[in-house]
Structure 1
Amino acid sequence: MNHKITCDIELRKFLKILFKDILLTFISSGAYWVWAMPKIMQYTYSQTKIGSFKFDYHVTPYDLLQYVLGLGGVLFVWFVVAVQSIELFIISAVTFILCIPLFYYKCVQISVGGKSLNSQRFNFSGPKSGAYFLFFHPKIVFFLFLVCGFMYSGFQIQRTNEILSYGLYGCAFLSMILLIVVFVVEKARYIINHYEYGNYCLKTTISEKDIFQSVLSAFISVKYFFVAIALSGFIYWMSGDDFWKMLSFVFAFVLILSFCISYAADYRRRYFDKIRVDGIDDFKFVSTASGWHIFLHCFSCLYSFIFTFGLAMPWLFASRHKFYFEHIMIVGELRQIERERVSAAQIEMVG
């Protein structure tokens, strides 16, 4: 059985909540934001449903206040120390980098722990050590050293051997791609594998191979444009005419755009396809968003934001929420989860 996620945000109510909170935030010089954000998110998630299930949002202003004060305090201390000398700047910068996993962990706790489905919540049980392992994973450190080493070597020999320096820059670029791939995979594993809903846990089997396959699929889907890019390169190097050079850049832009559109859809499909619910074999998530859908949504949001000087932000917020959830299809039977929810509610009432 297929279950679509629906989002019924009423723009009039959303604007009423948003403008009131923006006004109070402006009057309080930003301090009211801690109380405004939970109200906005509570309304947004309360209008999001999976069949008969209804989402809710349980993040409190106190949770946000803790995070904001902690991050603000560290940034203030870092700024005070960093302006004293270059040595203190380096030391404080390294210290701040070491604090990033803790801030990231706190963000995950807030965003994941705040979502619930009736009486049972989606909770995040990942340890803080896992956040550090995510940022300082041996593969990530290895590829980061490769990137820095290739770039430094290319810079050193640029004056003596230009061809070799370009080769080293190319290796640095490839290492950067591998670095991003590994980071994306480890981030997905760390977050999804620590989702809990009642007695159920989410698991993902996504791997570096899946990410590379999504990249290759995207390239294959735009294979006909390789002819165009090859032709554009030939035109660019053989012709001194500015018109033909501009044409080559247009071909290159079309190729990059087509690749991004294709990759976005294929990556999203592989990402959701690897998520399962332990204990329910036939329950899975499916993405229904095509690359063209993703591109049009991102382009329309960016276009609206720029040409309204930011005034369209309320519409964009609601649009992004609707797009994200309404393009996720849940395939499976929800009755088992519903029975679990009813049993938990009965036990709670008896207690």
Structure 2
Amino acid sequence: MKSLLLVAAVVGSLLVAPVASASSGWEMRPTGVDARLRGLSAVSPRVAWVSGSAGTVLRTVDGGASWASVGPPGTADLQFRDIQAFDARHAVVLSIGPGESSRIYRTVDGGASWTETFRNTDPAAFYDCVAFFDRWRGLAMSDPVDGRFRVLRTADGGRTWSQVPPENFPPALPGEAGFAASGQCVATAGGRDAWIATGGGATARVLHSSDGGWRWTVADTPLLSSPSAGVFAVTFRDPRHGLAIGGDYANPTGAVANLAGSRDGGRTWSSLSGPVGYRSGLAWHGSSVIAVGPTGSDVSRDGGRTWQRLGDGSFDTVDCAGVCWAAGEKGRVGVLTRG
């Protein structure tokens, strides 16, 4: 979403069990950069990739003890808001923005070299997020063009992309779009189910595909929606059980409707009592779920019904693979620890 380009001006021992303990917290992994890191892909407790402003892409292979700057050359003017990594060598990164600012790059050698595999040529399109079902099949989502969301699909690991026919989407609401805040406005679970999180319109909604991203339906959520509010992140533990989180980034400490759950694959959503304030990132870790945002982070050990505070530090995105990683402003990266 175009308005997310203004977010930065508005809000400024590894975990080895699937459930965070009462003494859990974030242990920082200094990156040596000042970029805002909104893209994050956790591969394992040792391997993770992050991406963000000023063409930044970083990779660690030692649990965050050191980071290599591996971004595509000549991209310092791009904002890499989302990244999907498959191992220490293979990754796909998405830059956002209107027209040709929206691009996709792919590496097969740990970032030593990159291939640009997509450049948007439609000035009305604005790509927000990318997500993969497996290392071959993935989706990239744009804000609506001519009243319909736009989605690209790949079946070869991001080498080539093709557009899903616009008629396969329900009409978008006036002002409706995705939020490019955490790389989590598109999610997948299993081999065929995918979801798109929206806001900005009269209702915050979630689109769902059960056939690999070809045809889409839509459902309302009870989350607050406005030009600065809606669903910022959607995540599913399996093809049936999911959570959607958000709030209002223009009022980051406000107590508003910001969390909903689904038990039927996103066909219906019910309101849950979420953390207080705007939250842009959400990730499952076993039966626990971690939420992060500019004003703090929280953990739920019961599938999102109740929440406990993890800390007040600012993060934009979170991802878990063996351990949970979080990333955000001023190059911040943390790993969830057990004290």
Q: Given the two structures, how large is their TM-score scaled by the length of structure 1?
A: 0.27
More helix by share: 1
More strand by share: 2
Structure of larger gyration radius: 1
Q: Given the two structures, how large is their TM-score scaled by the length of structure 2?
A: 0.28
